[in-house]
Structure 1
Amino acid sequence: MKKKKLLVILLILCLALAAFGCSMGGNVDEDGNIVRNQDSFTVTIVGGILNGLFQFTEMIGLPSFALAIFLLTLIVKLLTHPVNVKQQKSMKSMSVLQPEMKKINEKYANNPEKRQEATMKLYREHKINPMSSCLPLLIQLPILMILFYGMRNWIPDQSLIDAGYYGFLWINDLSQMVANTKWPYLLPLVCALTTLLQQSMSIVNLKDRTQMMMLVIFPVMFFFVARQFPAGLALYWIFYGLLTAVQSLFINFRLKTGIFTPAEERLQRKEAAEELKEQRKEAAKKQQEKAQAKQQPAHPHTHSHESARDEKNLPDKPWK
């Protein structure tokens, strides 16, 4: 568990450094507008993808770069879906193991090394990787960096901007920094709320300090970081959070019902659940036997002596 906490701390530091780099990086003019570098490789990547997706939106009769950003978000979610499924499975397994984890913590309360060994052994027996919960965010971080610099520097054809295709609601230019938009705190607030939503849906144990720390820190961090985002990137993060929430609901439903799950995997899961159920029954039975043993009278032969004495004092014994 110490390794997991260390990884979370390092991840937070990386996000903080990335946010600092994003806020400090790039040249700005006297009005605070970004001086764009059209020759960067991120412009080639992001511009090419968004242009292609925009052409698709034109084909379906809904020309909009905001819709193109949504489609890009959807593609990213589909590509990272296997990782998210693995994360959800790991979290589900860890929630099932909470009673066993509690016993280990109580048994080795004064021995951290033994507690760590027993915990890792339990994870190995059930094929759980505690680090898998951080994988989606680790994958998402470089994607965010590429999109940040790409969207900040890339400019579509002026005719598309003039036609309103590169705007969204009150924002005329999605490459504009959020802090320079008409309502500079609205998008950061929505970014923070969607971050809170996706973090809250990944909480397994409310008593876990690490998970609760992430639940508080990440939304607050993204509220301040999003002000330095291009508006298009803030839009991407909002779409990403909403799609993550929908994806989490679908995966949880799938894991609960077994739908779309291979028959062999369903059988293994059923056998594991039955085995765990039997172990719990056995443990409860032993605990009940111990409780009954403690309730036994101190002198078990007292009753037999009294019965013999009463039998001796009977006036007649019909069986004689």
Structure 2
Amino acid sequence: MSYWNSFVDLITWGLVSIADFTGNGGLAIIVFTVLIKTVLLPLTIKSVRSTAAMQELQPKIKELQKKHGKDRQRLSQETMQLYAEYNINPAAGCLPLLLQMPIFFGLFFAIRNSAQGGEGHFADSFLWIGNLALADQFSIGPIPIAPLAILAGIFQFIQMRMMRPRNQGKVTDPQQAMMQMMMNFMPLMVVVFGWNFPAGVVLYWAAQSVYSVVQQWFITGWGAVGDWAPWLPELPEHRRLGHRKPSKTNVVVSGEPVQQRGVMGWMQRQASQMEEKKAERDSTRPAQSGSSQARAEREEPAGVELHEPEVQDGVVRVSARGGKVKRTGGKAVQGGSTDANLDVDGDETVNERRPRPAPRRARRGKQSSAGS
């Protein structure tokens, strides 16, 4: 048995179990949809936030386009570097949709297998649908309407529109433009395929589209739909899903203090964390050697008293007391009292004044007198 057949059997078992509990195949599909969308909710929140952050970066992407002009390769590199700076994955917006595609096709085979022979909950009627295992046969006179597919396409379009920010201009990023074009085709594809797909599968897509609209409103609000209907109510930012409370202080990004709010605040937190990590890495590196004067200051020990130099007959005389004197390129001079003479040409002479030892004869005389 292949992995795909095992996956279809798992979906079939889940649908039949829910249908036995609800007593209706249509209700079972709706409950199944809510469960799947709820399980994917954390991933969806992160994906929606990341997509909104990419759209907020459009002004900076436009600046890059003006800077690099027709150099597509350099523009692509700079754009990806900008995404990396704000810790954004351009493909994150498509991830929940890609995960739902196997479920969609698995549901297609599960409903078809469960309704074979015209028996079971999925061969029953639901609302105006006569059989969930067949295509929607609703029509006005001789014209087929397929209202369930149209309803699914409308809610899919609303949800895609809500993912865009208000007053958004033309998308200039090539990757964003391609992803947006794919999203614009999704509602049309739902309607076209829903015309011939089993009504139970289209019911799943319609239910998940309605769920997605409600979910999107709780995450980002109405988005670009508000451009058409500004009177629609919005949820306050602090009550939206995935919202994080801003810190009491401003975040400094590229030397500019920026208040943390909304999606841009999330982006600024990401950039601030990356700057902090970079600063930590820089602080762990060994300090580079400074100028010769700084090295001389480090070599000079504490407690050494240097006197003012005296110039006599072209000779500079510097005296030091109480320690060692080191100069770069010179000799080490030790002693309790030391005079170091430095000629103008750079030759160094050292004159050390030390107490002379007593003569040997005097020592012997003292020893003989002590013995007597």
TM-score by length of 2: 0.54
Match of 1:113 in 2: 73
The answer as to 2:138 corresponding to 1:185 is no
Partner deviation per Cα, 1:193-246 (whole Å, 9 max, x = no partner): 122122212235552243552343212222111122111111110000010011
Q: Give me the whole-angstrom Cα distance separating, in 2, the residues matched to 1:222 and 1:155.
A: 23
The Cα shift of 1:247 comes to 0.7
- Structure 2 counterpart of 1:78, one-letter code: T
Three-state SS of the structure 1 residue aligned to 2:195 is helix
Match of 1:207 in 2: 170
**Compared CA separation, residues 270 and 77, structure 1 to 2 (3 A):** farther
Match of 1:216 in 2: 184
- Structure 2 counterpart of 1:275, one-letter code: V
The answer as to 2:17 corresponding to 1:48 is no
Partner deviation per Cα, 1:7-47 (whole Å, 9 max, x = no partner): xxxxxxxxxxxxxxxxxxxxxxxxxxxxxxxxx65663333
Q: Give me the whole-angstrom Cα distance separating, in 1, the residues matched to 2:24 and 2:40.
A: 25
- Structure 1 counterpart of 2:16, one-letter code: N
Which one has a larger percent helix, Structure 1 or Structure 2? Answer: 1
**Compared CA separation, residues 143 and 166, structure 1 to 2 (3 A):** same
After superposition, residues 74-223 of structure 1 pair within 5 angstroms as: 74-155=34-115, 166-178=124-136, 180=137, 183-204=144-165, 205-208=168-171, 209-223=177-191
Q: Give me the whole-angstrom Cα distance separating, in 2, the residues matched to 1:144 and 1:111.
A: 41
**Compared CA separation, residues 56 and 277, structure 1 to 2 (3 A):** farther
Match of 1:275 in 2: 253
Contact 1:89 1:255 in 2 (8 A): no
Match of 2:238 in 1: 257
Q: After alignment, is 92-101 or 199-208 more displaced?
A: 199-208
Partner deviation per Cα, 1:83-141 (whole Å, 9 max, x = no partner): 21111111222233222222111111222122112111111111000110111111111
The Cα shift of 1:53 comes to 1.2
- Structure 2 counterpart of 1:198, one-letter code: Q
The Cα shift of 1:276 comes to 7.3
- Structure 2 counterpart of 1:191, one-letter code: A
Structure 2 segments unaligned to the other structure (5+ residues): 172-176, 222-234, 260-372
Contact 1:148 1:230 in 2 (8 A): yes
Q: Which protein shows a greater Rg?
A: 2
- Structure 1 counterpart of 2:111, one-letter code: M
Q: Give me the whole-angstrom Cα distance separating, in 1, the residues matched to 2:109 and 2:65.
A: 46
Contact 1:43 1:150 in 2 (8 A): yes
Contact 2:12 2:107 in 1 (8 A): no
Which one has a larger percent strand, Structure 1 or Structure 2? Answer: 2
**Compared CA separation, residues 153 and 131, structure 1 to 2 (3 A):** same
The Cα shift of 1:259 comes to 5.7
Structure 1 segments unaligned to the other structure (5+ residues): 1-39, 58-62, 282-320
Three-state SS of the structure 2 residue aligned to 1:187 is helix
**Compared CA separation, residues 144 and 268, structure 1 to 2 (3 A):** farther
Three-state SS of the structure 2 residue aligned to 1:136 is helix
Match of 2:264 in 1: none
After superposition, residues 275-314 of structure 1 pair within 5 angstroms as: 275=253, 278=256
Three-state SS of the structure 2 residue aligned to 1:228 is coil
Partner deviation per Cα, 1:265-286 (whole Å, 9 max, x = no partner): 54479855x63793789xxxxx
- Structure 2 counterpart of 1:91, one-letter code: T
Three-state SS of the structure 2 residue aligned to 1:173 is coil
Q: Give me the whole-angstrom Cα distance separating, in 1, the residues matched to 2:33 and 2:169.
A: 29
Contact 1:199 1:214 in 2 (8 A): no
Three-state SS of the structure 1 residue aligned to 2:202 is helix
**Compared CA separation, residues 134 and 158, structure 1 to 2 (3 A):** closer
Match of 1:238 among 201, 206, 221: 206
Q: Give me the whole-angstrom Cα distance separating, in 2, the residues matched to 1:276 and 1:65.
A: 57
